[in-house]
């Protein structure tokens, strides 16, 4: 399993996964209030790559057995006195529960809190998303509380549980926690 930078060449795989797994993914995807548009994966990849070039986002794909099986993004990247970012991720239903996602998140956390230079990273999860909650539990991330009506999901403002880690809390590698 590897995590690598998103590329335009990932379009066919991501387009297939995002469309074939709509029922699995849609309950957790952010939406813009009042706007319902068809999923445009080509536009999404272009927007992520543009944000990546500007340093606002880091966009990755998760590769397992030589195929793209999911995606991981780091958004809300701020340096200076804050030095933080927020991780979001998804994996195809077929590959859920195999330990791929916790490993991918661990690798990216090691990079962010090490070489990339962030001080704090958080992951925000809907309380109903048991699969994502298992990821942060396996990684032993600190629970900070609840953000009420934080992200618009499926046309509704949804609460999210906040999990985080700071550089000072990281002892060794995040992979060691698995």
| Full set of structural domains in the chain with CATH | 2-177 (3.40.630.30)
| pTM for this prediction | 0.95
Pairing of strands 84-91, 156-166: unpaired
Is the per-residue pLDDT at 38 higher than 80? Answer: no
pLDDT band at 44 (very low <50, low <70, confident <90, very high): very high
Q: What is the pLDDT of residue 32?
A: 80
Q: What is the pLDDT of residue 136?
A: 98
pLDDT band at 154 (very low <50, low <70, confident <90, very high): confident
> Residue 86, by phi and psi: left (phi above 0), alpha (psi -120 to 50) or beta?
beta
The H or E element containing residue 103 is: helix 100-113
pLDDT band at 35 (very low <50, low <70, confident <90, very high): confident
Query: How many CB atoms neighbour CB 105 within 10 A?
Result: 25
End-to-end CA distance of the chain: 14
- What value does the mean pLDDT take over residues 37-62? 94
pLDDT over 90 for what percent of the chain? 90
- What value does the mean pLDDT take over residues 136-165? 96
By C-alpha distance, which of 112, 163, 119, 114 is closest to 140?
A: 163
Is the per-residue pLDDT at 93 higher than 80? Answer: yes
Residue 37: strand, helix, or coil: coil
pLDDT band at 130 (very low <50, low <70, confident <90, very high): very high
What is residue 141's DSSP assignment? P
């Amino acid at each position: 399993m590897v995590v690598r930078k998103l590329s335009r060449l990932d379009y066919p795989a991501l387009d297939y996964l995002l469309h074939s797994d709509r029922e699995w993914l849609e309950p957790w995807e952010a939406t813009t209030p009042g706007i319902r548009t068809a999923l445009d994966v080509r536009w999404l990849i272009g927007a992520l790559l543009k944000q990546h070039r500007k340093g606002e986002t880091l966009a990755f794909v998760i590769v397992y057995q030589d195929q793209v099986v999911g995606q991981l993004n780091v958004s809300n990247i701020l340096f200076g006195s804050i030095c933080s970012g927020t991780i979001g991720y998804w994996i195809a239903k077929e590959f859920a529960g195999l330990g791929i996602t916790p490993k991918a998140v661990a690798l990216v956390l090691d990079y962010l809190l090490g070489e990339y230079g962030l001080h704090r990273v958080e992951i925000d999860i809907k309380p109903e998303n048991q699969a994502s909650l298992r990821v942060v539990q396996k990684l032993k991330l600190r629970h900070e509380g609840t953000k009420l009506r934080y992200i618009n999901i499926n046309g509704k403002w949804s609460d999210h549980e906040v999990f985080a880690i700071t550089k000072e809390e990281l002892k060794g590698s995040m992979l060691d926690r698995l």
